[in-house]
Amino acid sequence: MDHFFNEEQIALRDLVRKIADDKVRPVAAKYDREGIFPWDLVKVFAEAGLYGVVIPEEYGGAGRGVTELAIVSEELAKACAGATLAVAASALGTFPIIISGNDEQKRRYLPDLATGKYLAAFCLTEPEAGSDAGAIRTRATRTGNEYILNGTKIFITNGGVAHIYTVIAVTDPAKGTRGTSAFIVQDDYPGFKLGKEEDKMGIRASATREIVFDDCHVPAENLIGREGEGFGVAMKTLDKSRPGVAAQALGIAQGAFDLALDYARKRIQFGQPIASHQGIQFMLADMATQIEAARALLYAAAHLVDSGAKNIAQLSAMSKLMASDVAMKVTTDAVQIFGGYGYMRDYPIEKYMRDAKITQIYEGTNQVQRMVIARTLIREAASKG
């Protein structure tokens, strides 16, 4: 696996792997069971500089890229996918500012996000706008030197624990997606309210909440870019963040595989380890092959994003699609290898299976990823005549 990375990236991987093994893994079951946000781990992540990985150096970050963020997400997710989101979801909420924010916005917000003093969240999904992101209804109306936001966002990762929210809202309903805009909203603005806190099947160490804007007052200078650019900001953000979801899924798959391989070597049935039976060997071989294939695609996508290439949507979607499908397949097989024990909460493997499922759903369902890939293929073919 080292051939994917340079020396600095390997050093980062080794640092995060140690944090995952020493700090995250021992408390993963507790946070999953209790469904509470891991503030103590946030401090650990902040002290290690993980929140600044993708933030430019001039704003207090490490100035690294999506590849490094993927490394962080993969290694943390091997231990706990929910805790991983304390870092990854903050990066998601920060991307719109990095991508389209002006210098004043970057100077005001990025330094505190880089140190982990504040966490960020990205607000796109609504009750009637899930896969159909263009159907958002949250409204932003300009009034003097501010915008008044009204509407509800749902399933917001880091909701209730973040201080900075990047929000996509409608400024001109007559223009469809070209009538949406992006805003930076703080949780202490008048009219910002926390709604329902979700009780989830998996990633239970991650905070997921409804965010309500009830005549929420947002300064006009918090508009990201120009009016009408919100949908574009959102799509550019997702193109950059999807390899991060792929990395989380890959970490889940690798973590589950490692446990299954160890168990298969030690579990005795019919007088010998179950790893000596061909049926189990074939399962392990397929799992390992699928993981390595997903890893190759993930880091190819991450490297493409970091290269500054414009056409990243297809490979980004492919990486998320493949890695999350692999995560679901590998974790299901891992539970099978554990047999009856795999179905019990006393063993950690069932958590990996529960955590894996969401990676096929959020930041664009895998059906949406296939649409993105197919449309890109068809468009490219048409351009060639």
Q: How far apart are CA 48 and CA 43, in angstroms?
A: 9
What pairs with residue 216 in β-bridges? 149
Cβ–Cβ under 8 Å, residues 79 and 19: no
373 Cα distance to chain centroid: 19
- Tokens 């380890």 appear where? 273
- Residues in CB range of 300: below 8 A, 6 or more apart: 315, 319
Question: For 175, what's the count of Cα atoms within 13 Å in the CB-facing half-sphere?
Answer: 14
Q: How far apart are CA 360 and CA 368, in angstroms?
A: 10
Q: How far apart are CA 270 and CA 338, in angstroms?
A: 15
Closest CA to 335 of 325, 345, 324: 345
Number of residues that this document lists for the chain: 385
Cβ–Cβ under 8 Å, residues 181 and 229: yes
DSSP structure string for 182-199:
EEEEETTSTTEEEEEEP-
Q: Exactly one of 126, 210, 229, 363 is catalytic; which is it?
A: 363
Element (H, E) at 358: helix 349-359
Q: Assign 16 to helix, strand or coil.
A: helix
Tokens matching residue 108: 């005001």
The question of whether 380 is a catalytic residue gets the answer no
Q: How far apart are CA 342 and CA 347, in angstroms?
A: 6
Phi, psi of 213 (to 5 degrees): -110, 110
Closest CA to 367 of 130, 12, 98, 50: 130
Cβ neighbour number for residue 290 with a 10 Å cutoff = 20
Kindly list the catalytic residues.
363
